[in-house]
Chain A
Amino acid sequence: MNEETPISNNDISEVDKLKKERQEYLEGWQRARAELINYKKGEAERAETIMRFGNERLLRDVVTVMDSFDLSIASLEASGKDPVMLRGVLMTRTQLEHVLKEHGLESIKSIGKEFNPVEHEVLMEIESDKSPGTVIEEVERGWKLYDKVIRPARVKVAKGK
């Protein structure tokens, strides 16, 4: 049998140093792995958001076209001159609404509801026998893309007495 070589203090500190270093490297590696996995998850989420909200800007603009439809219908209804034309424009608007709905866009119901800044933006207060804070009139329709309000309904609200 060989004589056992005594372990010097130097060796011990060297071992400690290496252990510490190994731990550091392992942790660094784990962190890097974790970061990659988390990044992938985040990326998947971002891709999902882009899928859902990628056309948000486009839809925001389309909504202003819908305003013009609403106004032209109101104008045709008021004049009562051209019922055939009115029917055509009404149908076109329904068609457009249908397309927008397919893409996750829906208008916000506001009239008769209590004013809620999550969905409404108040433009003025008017005298009314309704309880104060009730939405009396919708000046411009509001729109939601899935759960996100992309334009609040612009409304007139009952004034407190």
Chain B
Amino acid sequence: MAKILGIDLGTTNSAMAIIEGGAPRIIENVEGNRTTPSIVALSKANERFVGTLGKRQSITNPKNTIFSVKRLIGRKFSDSVVQQDKKWLPYDIRQSESGGVDIKMGDRWYTPEEISAMVLAKLKADAEAKLGEKIEEAVITVPAYFDDSQRQATKNAGEIAGLKVRRILNEPTAAALAYGLDKSKNEKIVVYDFGGGTFDVSVLEVGDNTVEVKATGGDTHLGGDDFDKKINEYLATEYKKAEGMDVSRDPLALQRLKEAAERAKHELSTAFETEINIPYISSDASGPKHFLMKLSRSKLEELVRSEVDRSVMLTEKTIKEAGFKMNEIDEVILVGGQTRMPAIQDAVKKLFQKDPHRGINPDEVVAIGAAVQAGILQGDVKDVLLLDVTPLTLSIETLGGIATPMIPKNTTVPTAKSQVFSTASDNQPSVEIHVLQGERQMASDNKTLARFILDGIPPAPRGVPQVEVSFDIDANGILSVSAKDKASGKSQSVKIEASTSLSKEEIERLKNEAMQHADEDNKKRELIEARNQAENLVYVAEKSLKEAEGKISAELHQSVTGKVNDLKQVKDKDDVALIKNAIEGLSEELQKIGASLYNKDKGAEGEKTEEKKEN
């Protein structure tokens, strides 16, 4: 089945995503980047470049490098926005015959739709190359404030690029979809989108299967690029103060400064201070000059304070226009790379008194949401099987009352698992299978699902019998547990119907309990495991002593016996370290028996074979 591509067609950058195996995934372009600059250029050699490649030749070819076309698409030439932008856009635009905008690139005039179509066509081609299949349909996002004409023009751009546009989706709605907030009913959502070049804020209300845009606001000329500019200017001024040199005329120095500033900005999202270190930034008669300066997070915040404040002010204004109060807002979503800045996150949190959603990469969340919408339209393969998961871990009780997990929580069913267990004492005739559910380490803290006994195990030393325990959960959540003694072939089993039918609250309660008791449980488990190990070792040691009687020196016999007694004395105490010490002591001593026998005696092997036959 052909896939539908989700496209975030941005002012500065675009991104695309697709549903794969039920989950959205960003698709990289052929250059290997997750976002593509929304730039189209006709080079001096008359070659057309889209995306990063267009950007790389833009400085010397500004007249034929078309960017920010999203600011023009679907607008009348007489529109005040177009008239404003005309002043600073380096390429030529004119009024088209129909009153729209024409853009000059090379010798030809193009409509904004045609330029956008070139960006979309690149995305389409790159997605096809990456996925190895044809893409014919798409969901494309637009700002919530786009009018019919702008939406239609965007749709046309898609069609020109050879894509059937299944849906024009609002960007804030896409963000809400990405976070799965479309299902929560009667919620008011604010989407705070601080991109590279534009700042958008939208207020949404989720109803029954609808997402309604209640108000939109923002500033189409406020973005992260302004932050970069401020940092650059500050660094250049500081350098001039310190060294008396103007770096703004040296393209290399400027380039390195720009890169260092951007890196510093990113670093200050996690660190409180960073060092900007640019050796050999320039030189004069006295020799080379270096740039070394510390930049703190608070200094950065001071530099961009007015921009952040402005975004907060615009957000408040938009919410007022929607007719809501601050405390009525249920959810806040952060979109756009600049929202990684802690100062912005704090400002938004302070404004709404709640933590904003920001788990998904803010540069990609809109494209992800577009893919989610595409997945809904695509109506993924009819699900014959709705696969459930086991909400809690299923275990059996083993020596010392430990819950030994068989099927961990969140395992997708149907599933099966089997493991071989043995007996704890010599000639043990039966084993009890105690089936448990829960996350705690000790059996007694978990819920008992079933208990049954497998008997008729032929007499054998501890640890020798092999009892295979199998857990099997079918697609309906019915758990079958069986135990089989491999020697006698005897088996027992039990069916438990309700292994997955716990209420949501109960599951949460059990998980929380497990988390609270994790430390204490771990200690308990460690102690019991040490005791089990101690008991096992005492058993082995006593058996070895008996077998080696007369074959080893009395001295060695005595020292091993001494160590056995040491361990016996401490093994039931609550001090894990003490037990472990004694275990180590005995283990070392015990090895001497083996070493001593190895040199003297090789007859013991016959005995062992015989023992095996018994099983």
Contact = CB atoms under 8 A, between A and B. Distances in A.
Interface stretch (A3-11, A67-75, A96-104, A105-113): A67-75
A38 B464 CA distance: 43
A1 interface: no
A157 B44 CA distance: 12
A42 B131 CA distance: 10
Interface string A116-149: 0110111111000000110000011000000011
Interface of A: 24-25, 27-28, 31-32, 35, 39, 42, 53, 61, 64, 67-68, 71-72, 74-75, 79, 115, 117-118, 120-125, 132-133, 139-140, 148-149, 152, 154, 157, 160
B280 A124 contact: no
Given A32-B385, A160-B44, A75 B252 contact: no
B53 A117 contact: yes
B54 interface: yes
B384 A75 contact: no
Given A68-B280, A132-B44, A157-B60, A139 B287 contact: no
B603 interface: no
Contact of B43 (A32, A117, A154): A117
B56 A121 contact: yes
Interface in B144-168: none
Contacts of A122: 56-57, 59-61
A123 B283 contact: no
B336 to A, nearest CB: 21
Interface string B35-75: 00000000111000100111111011100000000000000
Given A67-B256, A148-B31, A160-B44, A124 B60 contact: yes
A75 B288 contact: yes
A31 B514 CA distance: 38
A53 B255 CA distance: 25
Contacts of A157: 60
Given A117-B57, A124-B251, 8 more contacts: A24-B382, A24-B384, A28-B383, A72-B280, A123-B251, A140-B252, A140-B255, A140-B256
Contacts of A140: 252, 255-256
B56 A139 contact: no
B259 interface: yes
Contacts of A79: 287
B21 A39 contact: yes
Contacts of B251: 123-124, 139
B44 A133 contact: yes
Given A39-B21, A139-B251, A115 B57 contact: yes
Contact of A68 (B61, B279, B381, B382): B279
Summarize B's interface: helix, strand, loop or mixed. mixed
B528 to A, nearest CB: 38
A78 to B, nearest CB: 8
Contacts of B382: 24, 28
B49 A117 contact: yes
A62 to B, nearest CB: 13
B32 interface: yes
A123 B59 contact: yes
Contacts of A75: 280, 283, 287-288
A118 B53 contact: yes
Contacts of B263: 61
Contacts of B279: 68, 71-72
B401 to A, nearest CB: 39
Contacts of B61: 122
Interface string B286-305: 01100000000000000000
A107 to B, nearest CB: 16
Contacts of A132: 44
A9 B460 CA distance: 63
A84 B325 CA distance: 72
12 contacts: A27-B384, A28-B381, A42-B20, A64-B256, A71-B279, A72-B288, A117-B52, A121-B57, A123-B59, A124-B59, A124-B251, A140-B252
Contacts of B21: 35, 39
B110 to A, nearest CB: 20
B177 to A, nearest CB: 23
A154 B56 CA distance: 9
Nearest to B279: A68
A64 B259 contact: yes
Contacts of A64: 256, 259
A106 to B, nearest CB: 16
